[in-house]
Amino acid sequence: MKLFGSVDTPLVVAAISGNVINNAALASELGADVVEIRLDLLDSTTSIYDSISYITENFSLPVIITNRLAEEGGGWKESELKRVELLTTLMPLSDAVDIELKAPLRDVVINKAKELDKIVIVSAHDFIETKPLDELASILKEEHRVGGDISKLAVTPHSSQDVLNLLQAGVASHHPVCTIAMGELGKHTRIIAGLYGSVLTYASVEEATASGQLRVDTVKKLIKLFYQKKS
């Protein structure tokens, strides 16, 4: 299963919650390449194992599981141990797992994912600012060093220079990255970051799960305009 995309066309990840089966079906109809199931945004995780099983059996979409820390914009309200236990329980059903660079039990998740031969996305989110270029580059490098197959970095820009710094950090990386500038100022990065090394871009099927997120079908149309696959 190829999740990394290519230098020409980033994969469009549909971030879904709510009724995950219905939203996965909608994501597929809209043209998503991958679905990310946001466990932290679900009203209940009681039947999530069966739901993910259904998705993997009935839709040709790789599945990323994410259980976002509250400190990084997530909705998880229980203990860190329970958060990680849910991730590791569902990991065999998934193709990839997202874990935060600053997560207390980060290495437990990464080691389990490596054991199961799953793709690891190590992520960091800054809802306040965009650090200087050298710090952005260091974060991406550290995410890779700790075991990330893809280094994900989402920041809040306050100027065009902030956006340029994020894109430059992505270009300078020597491994797969996903770079996102959140909010209105960075909305265009969800389309063009792939031109600067980003292998994934996140989109919504209904309500956005992050500031500046566009709908899957909109992103797919714009990507078709901006990118041309090599023959």
**Residues designated as active site:** 125, 152
Q: Is 38 annotated as a binding residue?
A: yes
Is the distance from CB of 216 to CB of 32 less than 8 angstroms?
A: yes
As to burial, measured by CB atoms within 10 angstroms (0-12 exposed, 13-18 middle, 19+ buried), residue 188 is middle
Half-sphere exposure of residue 176: CA atoms within 13 angstroms, side-chain side:
21
Q: Is 83 annotated as a binding residue?
A: no
Task: Give 142-208 as a 3 state SS string.
Answer: HHHHCCCCEEEEEECCCCHHHHHHHHHHHHHCCCCEEEEECHHHHCCHHHHHHHHCECEEEEECCCC
Q: Is 36 annotated as a binding residue?
A: yes
Crossing angle for the helix pair 216-226 and 20-30, nearest 10 degrees? 30
Strand order in the sheet with 96-100: 177-181, 150-155, 119-125, 96-100, 63-66, 34-38, 11-16, 200-204
Helix (H, G, I), strand (E, B) or coil at 5: coil
As a whole number of angstroms, the distance between CA 205 and CA 156 comes to 22
List binding-site positions.
Answer: 36-38, 68, 190, 209, 213
List binding-site positions for 3-dehydroquinate.
Answer: 36-38, 68, 190, 209, 213
